[in-house]
């Protein structure tokens, strides 16, 4: 992205190092009591600097930013085809599970479970049951705003290199979109091997006249391929954005969009150390951190993340919709999550020693009583319920949209 030609509008002479990328290294915070007097707020909307569509505020050397108001442009035919594929169980080995099974609109495209239940399960969202299924190892990450993964505080990001999953094992939405089809517990099931399933799915699509027609209309091809399936799924997911939260509106100059308590909560969020890691437009540094989080309930084999029990900093946007929290759904509430960070004296995971924990995590300041509550008030300003929740009434396979 070329910044030449963008106007840098400083409403006050505040020196923001606007070209630096997110390099922060720390954890995510969130509760407490209400008997707390926050420090006087020493910033306001007049201190915001706008570059392009991203507004950035420097608070004590930490950058927090609004999201762009418009997502990257995507061909609408690709989007609508991707929506059908996202909801169609035809993409799963047993034809009982769709992408939407674990990514529901009403939960910002997460599922409300600590660990998701894929093929073999039944029901929807937090009431889904296992039946013959074995839950997957991790919590389903919300897809709202996923198109901006990797964005820095001035809106620079590379979609082809966007980090995906809790362990950053894939880059780009298209690369991410194929992974659940390959995973046995998610969509593949036990009938087809990893080397067989994509061929099977593509053959099913090519045998379906409606899909052949839709792909021809969208891409001008006669033969459906795995690459085109991934592209269409990514196109749909790239439109799932919520960029008009009270925080975003406040950053764009509406000083009534957040309450005074929420503005104070933003400052306390920085003072408590949360913003050292949860910064930028998505309130994430997209880095992996070893925090010694308790192991998720019910795992037969410990989830070691990238091999070192390190997991990516999650976005703090849309938390209203996405409980439970952390990579294994270890905490049901924001209050529980912040308590984990309040006094990080050691590891809560017996397989992770204190010496292996992130140094900055161990150096977090102890919070005064009540600071967590005002931080949570600020986090509420990061919610926006206006995003695409449209579900197709039917899908070309004739199967039930969303699966069993």
pLDDT, tens digit (0-9, with 9 covering 90-100), for 307-350? 999 999 999 999 999 999 999 999 999 999 998 988 767 899 99
Give φ, ψ of 155 to 5 degrees.
90, 10
Q: In what order do the strands lie in the sheet with 62-65?
A: 8-10, 49-51, 54-59, 62-65
Distance CA 262, CA 49 (A): 20
Alpha helices in 133-286 (DSSP H): 173-182, 194-206, 209-219, 226-237, 246-251, 260-271
Under a CB-based contact definition with an 8 Å cutoff, are residues 51 and 3 in contact?
Answer: yes
The string over 23-34, giving b where at least 16 C-beta atoms fall within 10 Å of a residue's C-beta and e elsewhere, is: ebebbbbbbbee
pLDDT digits (tens, 9 = 90+) for 151-186: 999 899 999 999 999 999 999 999 999 999 999 999
User: What residues contact residue 317 under an 8 Å CB cut-off, 6+ apart?
Assistant: 144, 145, 242, 245, 282, 283, 382, 383, 384
Distance CA 276, CA 65 (A): 13
Q: What tokens does 387 get?
A: 């995003």
Statement: residue 115 has pLDDT above 50: yes
CA angle 285, 61, 320 (to 5 degrees): 45
Q: Distances from the Cα of 205 to the Cαs of 47, 193, 219, 265, in angstroms?
A: 53, 18, 15, 50
Closest CA to 310 of 169, 127, 179, 111: 169
Average pLDDT of 87-93?
98
The model's pTM is 0.90
Q: What tokens does 51 get?
A: 């570059």
Closest CA to 91 of 229, 217, 220, 213: 229
> How much is the pLDDT for 34?
57
Under a CB-based contact definition with an 8 Å cutoff, are residues 143 and 388 in contact?
Answer: no
Average pLDDT of 130-155?
95
Which DSSP helix (H) or strand (E) runs through 360?
Answer: helix 359-362
Under a CB-based contact definition with an 8 Å cutoff, are residues 119 and 191 in contact?
Answer: no
Task: Count the residues in the chain.
Answer: 404
Distance CA 241, CA 231 (A): 18
Average pLDDT of 93-115?
98
Q: What tokens does 283 get?
A: 């309130």
User: What residues contact residue 148 under an 8 Å CB cut-off, 6+ apart?
Assistant: 67, 68, 71, 157, 162, 241, 281, 282
Instruction: Point out the least confidently predicted range of 268-277, 334-343, 372-381.
Output: 334-343
Distance CA 367, CA 1 (A): 39
Determine if the peptide bond prior to 252 is cis (ω within 30°): no
Which DSSP helix (H) or strand (E) runs through 362?
Answer: helix 359-362
pLDDT digits (tens, 9 = 90+) for 277-310: 999 999 999 999 999 999 999 999 999 999 999 9
Across the chain, what does the average pLDDT equal? 90
Distance CA 182, CA 173 (A): 15
Under a CB-based contact definition with an 8 Å cutoff, are residues 381 and 262 in contact?
Answer: yes
Instruction: Point out the least confidently predicted range of 101-110, 143-152, 352-361.
Output: 352-361
What 3 state SS string does 45-94 have? HHHCEEECCEEEEEECCEEEECCCCCCCCCCHHHHHHHHHHHHCHHHCCC
> How much is the pLDDT for 247?
98
Statement: residue 19 has pLDDT above 90: no
> How much is the pLDDT for 308?
94
């Amino acid at each position: 992205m070329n910044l030449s030609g963008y106007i840098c509008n400083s409403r006050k002479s505040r020196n923001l190092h606007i070209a630096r990328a997110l390099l922060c290294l720390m954890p995510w915070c969130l509760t407490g009591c209400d008997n707390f007097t926050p420090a006087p707020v020493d910033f306001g909307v007049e201190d915001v600097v706008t570059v392009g569509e991203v507004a950035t505020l420097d608070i004590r050397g930490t950058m927090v930013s609004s999201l762009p108001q418009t997502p990257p442009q995507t061909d609408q035919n690709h989007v609508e085809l991707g929506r059908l594929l996202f909801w169609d169980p035809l993409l799963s080995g047993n034809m009982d599970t769709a992408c939407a099974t674990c990514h529901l609109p009403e939960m910002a495209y997460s599922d409300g479970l600590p660990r998701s239940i894929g093929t073999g399960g039944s029901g929807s969202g937090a009431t889904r049951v296992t039946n013959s299924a074995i839950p997957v190892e991790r919590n389903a990450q919300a897809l709202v705003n996923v198109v901006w993964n990797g964005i820095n505080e001035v809106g620079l990001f590379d979609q082809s290199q966007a980090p995906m999953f809790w362990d950053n094992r894939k880059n780009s939405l298209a690369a991410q979109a194929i992974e659940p089809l390959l995973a046995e517990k998610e969509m593949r099931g036990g009938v087809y091997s990893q080397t067989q399933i994509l061929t099977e799915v593509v053959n099913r699509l090519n045998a379906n006249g409606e899909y052949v027609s839709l792909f021809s209309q969208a891409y001008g091809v006669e033969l459906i391929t795995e690459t085109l399936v991934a592209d269409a799924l990514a196109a749909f997911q790239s439109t799932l954005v919520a960029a008009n939260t009270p925080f975003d509106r406040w950053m764009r100059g509406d000083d009534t969009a957040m309450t005074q308590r929420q503005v104070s909560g933003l400052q306390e969020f920085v003072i408590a150390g949360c913003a050292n890691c949860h910064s930028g437009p998505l309130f994430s540094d997209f880095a992996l951190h070893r925090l010694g989080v308790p192991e998720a309930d019910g795992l037969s084999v410990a989830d070691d993340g990238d091999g070192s029990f390190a997991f990516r900093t999650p976005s703090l946007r849309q938390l209203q919709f996405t409980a439970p929290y952390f990579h294994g759904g270890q905490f049901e509430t924001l209050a529980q999550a912040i308590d984990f960070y309040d006094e990080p004296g050691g590891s809560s995971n017996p397989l992770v020693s204190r010496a292996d924990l992130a140094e900055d995590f161990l150096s977090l300041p102890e919070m005064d009583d009540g600071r967590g509550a005002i931080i949570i008030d600020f986090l509420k300003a990061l919610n926006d319920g206006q995003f695409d929740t449209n579900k197709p009434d039917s899908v070309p396979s004739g199967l039930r949209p969303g699966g069993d």
